[in-house]
Amino acid sequence: MGRPVTVTIPHQLGRQEARKRVEASLDQFKVQLGGAGLGNIQHAWTDDQLGFRAKALGQNITGRIDVRDSDLQIEVELPSLLAGFAEKVAAKLKQQGPLLIDKK
């Protein structure tokens, strides 16, 4: 069984502006994930939720970014083999997550 890692990034942008900024930052975010060892990154929007899939060390990783009125909630589901990295993943998300909504 996998281990979920959840990080909340507060903002004061409103849902529409936050989603616009996340969308504008996707390419940069995917580069950052690639630098963290994730490959074959795919994503798709459903309403205000961005779902993504990636591979690391031959393992499938899934996650989502929920764009809400006053925050982003980022959740990554780590497979059992990678569960030991949960704290590092959470720290990286807390550090890099705000870049998704920074003004460009």
In tens, the pLDDT along 30-77 reads 777 777 677 788 999 999 999 999 888 888 999 999 999 999 999 999
Closest by Cα among 102, 98, 101, 88 to 3: 88
Q: What is the chain's percent helix, strand, coil content, to nearest 5?
A: 40, 40, 20
Judge whether residue 29 has pLDDT over 80: no
Percent of the chain with pLDDT over 90: 49
Tell me the average pLDDT across 3-30: 92
Task: Output phi, psi for 2, to 5 deg.
Answer: -80, 175
Tell me the average pLDDT across 73-90: 90
Percent of the chain with pLDDT over 70: 97
The Cβ-side half-sphere exposure at 27, using a 13 Å CA radius, reads 2
Beta-bridge partners for 45: 50
What was the pLDDT predicted at 104? 59
Mean pLDDT, all residues of the chain: 89
What was the pLDDT predicted at 66? 98
